[in-house]
Amino acid sequence: MKKILSILVVVVMLLSVAAMAETAEPLKVGFSLPSMTFPFYVRMYEQFMEEAEQRGWEVTFVDGNLDAGTQMNGCQDLINSGVDVMVIATWYIDALADIYTQCKEKGIGVFEMDNMVLPEATADCFTFTTGTDNYNAGVVGGTWCAGYLKEQNIESVNVILVSAMSEQQTKRCTGFTDGLSQNGIEVNVLNNYNGGVRETAMQVCENALTAYADLDIIYGGSAQDSLGGYDATVGAGRTEVMVVGFDGEDEEIEKIDAGTNYIATITQDPSGQSTNVANYIDKWLAGETFDQQLETPAGVYCAAGQLAGADIIG
């Protein structure tokens, strides 16, 4: 009889635990990106939502619509709704300072994507952040390009750099030229041009093609800059000039696959960043300790397909 009672007690306890598990509240995650108009952020969004679904998390998403105020207000609404975790990628990290401070005060974990440089004033508000290091990404691209040039017995190149001249894109450019020179290519930077948008980049590259008959490579600090450079080479009939880009957008990949003079683009890994963040939320929930930052390495897309940065650098 005692054995039967013991078995019944165990069964009741197991059923109670199962019932509690079924009624437990799912993790409430606030999720915000600066825009959904770029393939980069679409891939980031899709991967994170897949990771969240696998874990049974309840995600509320806010689109920043390329506006600091819109993203800030959306994140404020997420805080007010009582989220447990905030997952954010933003172009307006300084403008969101109050959001990060509120999260710290309320015990909301902040997991940042697409950013490896945290503002000093709010650095202690972040639980974890991952992204591509801009300089290292440039080095990966320059290293790949050096190998490509050596295969054609080219030992020196004349280069122009086109970017929005931001700190991040300047690092991408410096890394690219360093990657070339560190791997045995003599680099002559003919000029640095302010681009930022495709039309502006095309105009400055048209001027460069007129000024420099011996130009070898146009390097863009973003897809818009390099695509503008490509447009200029086609319009000027100067398709002997090689174009290397940054971002891995669909149009870049199409031009590379078509065998044009757009020879490569440096790629970030938005899906990998989402997976990293989901994994580190798990660690945080489990009470584990971990480093605040984790670099998501860059790669290169070229005629051979997608190459990992580790395979390029060696």
Q: What is the mean pLDDT of residues 126-139?
A: 96
- What is the four-CA torsion angle of 186, 188, 194, 199, rounded to 10 degrees? -80
Q: How far is 184 from 206, CA to CA, in rounded Å?
A: 29
Q: How far is 123 from 100, CA to CA, in rounded Å?
A: 9
* Higher per-residue confidence, 21 vs 303: 303
pLDDT at 17 over 60: no
* Higher per-residue confidence, 117 vs 290: 290
pLDDT at 142 over 60: yes
> What percentage of the chain carries pLDDT values higher than 70?
93
Q: How far is 100 from 65, CA to CA, in rounded Å?
A: 19
Residue 218: helix, strand or coil by DSSP? strand
Predicted local distance difference test score (pLDDT) of residue 86? 98
* Higher per-residue confidence, 18 vs 85: 85
Q: Are 286 and 124 in contact (CB under 8 A)?
A: no
Q: What is the mean pLDDT of residues 276-305?
A: 96
Q: What is the mean pLDDT of residues 144-157?
A: 97
Confidence of residue 39 (pLDDT cuts 50, 70, 90): confident
Q: Are 245 and 264 in contact (CB under 8 A)?
A: yes
Predicted local distance difference test score (pLDDT) of residue 314? 77
